[in-house]
């Protein structure tokens, strides 16, 4: 095992960096898409609602792998060619964003009715009510489910290997293909994925939850 | 009555602060308020009482435009609140009109509804800064003065979760007043409070009545308090005003049988 890591550690580390970058970029895409679609589904204007619902239905209702292939292999037929790195994090981000949209929508609806009414009674505009009063409280509610979703997202990035992005999974497959050290190659990948989630995502989300709770004066 | 039959504005010699004109509110087939006609004069304090389900809270919520109405028109200082003028007739108001008009109305709720992510001071500053466009410094001065008035200045940097119900309600009163409303609505503001802190909230309202010329409408279950501070008592029963009178008259010599029954029942409960 030690020999294995000495030989392939460098390449695995490079793959891990690519995975981390895909994760970070896909998270950004997911957050923006989830917020836009979550708010869109609550809009008073039906075309906005329809657009948001269509997005959520398509990206939540079909397979991530198929979406990835569509964005990478089919969109070029319509004149939109994306580099594989971009196609990778875009697909994963949009897919997770569709789930996130439901979290955003649900937590906004979970903010107590009285908060809307108090903001309304202060004559705040709908946008200010949302931005100043409702969203700050909804964000606290959405953090735990987002923690879950981001772990899903990290694992989802493994699929980008299938369009040739040289991420951790891609490197592990290459090593396996040339050496047949399957247990070592995929075992190491497994552990790295787990550690990324356990050591980076979970503690970061916990910290965020605590600091949000403090802002509500609850800690 | 057709909307075209309602005046675009009330005549200058007949402009109560609030006028409900033939106002009807129903949910499906359930009529909550039936053809309500009610004037509230400038500076008047009117208490609305009645059994639950009599529509009394709905009166306040309609005035705050939290509830739409199904018929009639509400006027504020002679101008239509629930409607606006289009080509010489009244049409249902749009969001912008409602927002403009309700700026002169403040409301306090049974469950306070303070913003939990803001301190007491920030709660009071939010409206003046975000809606009225005051500078932070102006809003702070105004808010601190009001927090002083309600006796909450030493807790100004606390979040609502650290305050008792009575304290939260006093901050909520300051928050509503910070918008400098001309009409204040109190919706059962002591109903969710422990008995021992009710006094600190009623004391604040008492002082408002004594020291300001606000027009106030209050829904309450506290008969003694209503009797002390009101200019008029409105008794609602099944979506209609069953009886209204000055407090002395109302409590000592109620005319209607429903009123007598209600007052007896309330007295027995005490």
**Closest residue of chain B to A140, computed from CA coordinates:** B117
Cα A22 → chain centroid: 10
CA distance A69 to chain B (A): 44
**Identity of the residue in A117, A136, A215 whose CB atom sits nearest the CB atom of B113:** A117
User: Which chain B residue has its CA at the smallest distance from A44's CA?
Assistant: B95
Kindly write down the DSSP assignment for every residue of A111-176, as one continuous string: S-HHHHHHHHHTT--HHHIIIIIIHHHHHHHHHHHHHHHHHHHHHHGGGGGGGT--SHHHHHHHHH
Between CA B135 and CA B140 the distance in angstroms is 8
The mean pLDDT of A83-94, rounded to a whole number, is 95
Give the residue-averaged pLDDT of B241-255. 95
Average pLDDT, stretch B235-243? 93
User: What does residue B88 show for φ and ψ, rounded to 5 degrees?
Assistant: 80, 0
Taking only the tens place, the pLDDT of each residue in B101-128 is 999 999 999 999 999 999 999 999 999 9
- Give the whole-angstrom CA distance, residue B251 versus residue B224: 10
DSSP A42: T
Q: Is A203 left (phi over 0), alpha (psi -120 to 50) or beta?
A: alpha
Cβ pair B113:A218 closer than 8 A: no
B147/B155 Cα distance (integer angstroms): 9
Q: What mean pLDDT is predicted for residues A46-58?
A: 96
Q: How far is CA A209 from the centre of its chain?
A: 18
User: Which residues on A lie below 8 Å from B64 (Cβ)?
Assistant: 120-121
Query: Residue B239 region, left (φ>0) first, then alpha (ψ -120 to 50), else beta?
Result: left
Q: What is the mean pLDDT of chain A?
A: 93
* Rounded distance between C-alpha atoms, residue A26 and residue A32, angstroms: 10
Q: Which CATH superfamily includes the segment(s) A2-215?
A: MetI-like (1.10.3720.10)
Band of pLDDT at residue B81, cut at 50, 70 and 90: very high
Q: Mutate which of A43, A118, A127, A216 to test chain B, going by most B C-beta atoms within 10 A?
A: A118
> Is the predicted pLDDT of residue A5 greater than 90, yes or no?
no
- Please count the other Cβ atoms lying within 10 Å of the Cβ belonging to residue B107: 26
Fold exhibited by the domain B3-104+181-269: Rossmann fold (3.40.50)
User: At CB < 8 A and 24+ separation, what contacts does B119-122 make?
Assistant: B119/A217, B119/B156, B119/B157, B119/B158, B119/B159, B120/B147, B120/B152, B120/B155, B120/B156, B120/B157, B120/B158, B120/B159, B120/B160, B120/B163, B120/B171, B120/B174, B121/B147, B121/B156, B121/B157
Residues B70-80 pLDDT 10s: 999 999 999 99
pLDDT digits (tens, 9 = 90+) for A138-192: 999 999 999 999 999 999 999 999 998 999 999 999 999 999 889 889 999 999 9
Query: Where exactly are the structural domains of chain A?
Result: 2-215
The pLDDT, as a whole number, for residue B90 is: 94
Mean pLDDT (whole number) for B71-91: 94
Q: What is the pLDDT of residue B270?
A: 66
What is the CB neighbour count within 10 angstroms for residue A74? 11
Q: Name the phi and psi angles at B29, rounded to 5.
A: -90, -5
Per-residue model confidence as pLDDT tens digits over B8-40: 999 999 999 999 999 999 988 888 999 999 999
Contact list in B for residue A121 (CB cut-off 8 A) is 64, 66, 102, 105-107, 109, 176
Cα distance between residue B209 and residue B190, in whole Å: 16
Q: Is the Cβ pair B127, A128 closer than 8 Å? A: no
Answer whether residue A111 shows pLDDT above 60: yes
**B contact set with A (CB within 8 A):** 64, 66, 95, 99-100, 102-103, 105-107, 109, 111, 113-117, 119, 126-127, 130-131, 158-162, 172, 175-176, 179
CA B140 to chain centre: 25
pLDDT at B62 over 90: yes
**Confidence at residue A151, expressed as pLDDT on a 0 to 100 scale:** 94
Q: What pLDDT band is residue A74 in, cutting at 50, 70 and 90?
A: very high
The HSE-up count of residue B169 (CA atoms within 13 Å, CB side) is 25
pLDDT digits 0-9 by tens, B184-231 = 999 999 999 999 999 999 999 999 998 888 999 999 999 999 999 999
The pLDDT confidence band at residue A219, using thresholds 50, 70 and 90, is very low
Interface A-B: count of C-beta contacts within 8 A: 70
DSSP letters for chain B: --GGGS-SS--TTS--SEEEEEEEEEETTEEEEEEEEEEE-TT-EEEEE-STTSSHHHHHHHHTTSS--SEEEEEETTEESSEEEETTEEEE--HHHHHHHHTTEEEE-TT----TTS-HHHHHHHHHHHTS---HHHHHHHHHHHHHHTT-GGGTTS-GGGS-HHHHHHHHHHHHHTT--SEEEEESTTTTS-HHHHHHHHHHHHHHHHH---EEEEE-S-HHHHHHH-SEEEEEETTEEEEEE-HHHHHHS--SHHHHHHHHHHHHH-
**pLDDT of A56 higher than 80:** yes
Mean predicted lDDT score pLDDT of chain B: 94
What is the end-to-end Cα distance of chain A in Å, rounded? 46
Domain residue limits, chain B:
3-104+181-269, 114-180
Q: Which residue of A has its CA nearest to B111?
A: A114
Question: Residue B97: which pLDDT band, with cuts at 50, 70 and 90?
Answer: very high
- The CB-side HSE value for B262 (13 A sphere, CA atoms) comes to 22
Question: Please, which residues bridge with residue B23 across strands?
Answer: B36
pLDDT of residue A218: 60
pLDDT value for A217: 66
A 10 A CB-CB count for B88 gives: 7
Burial class (CB in 10 A: 0-12, 13-18, 19+), B38: buried
User: How distant, in Å, are the alpha carbons of A20, A163, B131 from that of A63?
Assistant: 22, 15, 46
């Amino acid at each position: 095992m030690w020999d294995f890591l000495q030989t392939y550690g460098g390449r695995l580390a490079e793959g891990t960096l690519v995975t981390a970058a895909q994760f970070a970029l896909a998270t950004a895409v997911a957050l923006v898409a989830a917020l836009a679609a979550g708010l869109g589904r609550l809009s008073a204007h039906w075309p906005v609602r329809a657009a948001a619902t269509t997005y959520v239905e398509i990206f939540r209702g079909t397979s991530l792998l198929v979406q990835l292939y569509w964005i990478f292999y089919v969109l070029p037929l319509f004149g939109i060619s994306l580099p594989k790195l971009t196609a990778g994090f875009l697909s994963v981000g949009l897919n997770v964003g569709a789930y996130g949209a439901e979290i955003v929508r649900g937590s906004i609806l979970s903010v107590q009715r009285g908060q809307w009414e108090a903001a309304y009674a202060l004559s705040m505009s709908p946008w200010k009510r949302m931005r100043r009063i409702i969203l700050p409280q909804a964000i606290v509610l959405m953090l735990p489910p987002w923690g879950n979703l981001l772990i899903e997202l990290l694992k989802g990035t493994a699929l980008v290997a299938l369009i040739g992005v040289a991420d951790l999974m891609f490197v592990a497959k290459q090593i396996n293909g040339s050496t047949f050290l399957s247990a070592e190659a995929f075992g190491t990948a497994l552990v790295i994925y787990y550690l990324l989630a356990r050591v980076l995502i979970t503690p970061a989300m916990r910290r965020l939850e605590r600091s949000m709770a403090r802002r509500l004066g609850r800690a | 009555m057709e909307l075209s039959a309602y005046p675009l504005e009330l005549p200058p010699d007949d402009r109560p602060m609030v006028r409900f004109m033939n106002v009807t509110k129903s949910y499906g087939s359930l009529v909550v308020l039936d053809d309500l006609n009610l004037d509230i004069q400038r500076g008047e304090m009117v208490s609305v009482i009645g059994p639950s389900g009599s529509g009394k809270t709905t009166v306040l919520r309609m005035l705050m435009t939290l509830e739409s109405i199904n018929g009639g028109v509400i006027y504020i200082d002679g101008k239509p609140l629930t409607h606006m003028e289009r080509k010489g007739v009244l049409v249902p108001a749009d969001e912008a009109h409602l927002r403009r008009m309700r700026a002169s109305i403040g409301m306090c709720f049974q469950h306070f509804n303070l913003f939990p992510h803001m301190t007491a001071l920030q709660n009071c500053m939010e409206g003046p800064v975000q809606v009225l466009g005051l500078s932070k410094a102006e809003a702070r001065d105004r808010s601190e003065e009001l927090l002083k008035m309600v006796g909450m200045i030493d807790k100004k940097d606390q979040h609502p979760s650290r305050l008792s119900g009575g304290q939260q309600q006093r901050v909520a009163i300051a928050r509503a007043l910070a918008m400098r409303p001309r009409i204040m609505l109190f919706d059962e503001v002591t109903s969710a409070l422990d008995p021992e802190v009710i006094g600190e909230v009623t004391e604040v309202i008492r002082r408002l009545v004594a020291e300001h010329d606000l027009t106030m409408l209050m829904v309450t279950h506290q008969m003694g308090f209503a009797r002390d501070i009101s200019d008029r008592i409105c008794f609602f029963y099944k979506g209609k005003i069953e009886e209204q009178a000055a407090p002395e008259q109302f409590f000592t010599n109620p005319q209607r049988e429903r009123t007598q029954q209600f007052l007896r029942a309330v007295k027995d409960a005490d």
